[in-house]
Amino acid sequence: GQQLNQSPQSMFIQEGEDVSMNCTSSSIFNTWLWYKQEPGEGPVLLIALYKAGELTSNGRLTAQFGITRKDSFLNISASIPSDVGIYFCAGQGGGSNYKLTFGKGTLLTVNP
Amino acid sequence: GAVVSQHPSRVICKSGTSVKIECRSLDFQATTMFWYRQFPKQSLMLMATSNEGSKATYEQGVEKDKFLINHASLTLSTLTVTSAHPEDSSFYICSAARRDRVGETQYFGPGTRLLVL
For residues B70-92, b (16+ Cβ closer than 10 Å) or e, as one string?
ebeebbbbbbebeebeeebbbbb
Nearest one of A63, A69, A72 to A28, comparing CA atoms? A69
A42–B110: do the CB atoms touch at under 8 Å? yes
Per-residue pLDDT at B101? 73
How many angstroms away from the CA of B82 is the closest CA of chain A? 23
Distance CA B29, CA A9 (A): 35
List pLDDT tens digits, range B29-54.
Answer: 998 999 999 999 899 999 999 988 88
**Residue of chain B nearest A51, judged by CA positions:** B102
Interval A25-78: pLDDT, tens: 998 999 999 999 999 999 999 999 999 999 999 999 999 999 999 999 999 999
**SS3 of A82, please?**
helix
Cβ contacts of A59 within 8 Å, gap of 6 or more: none
- Report how far residue A82's alpha carbon sits from residue A112's, in angstroms, rounded to the nearest whole number: 10
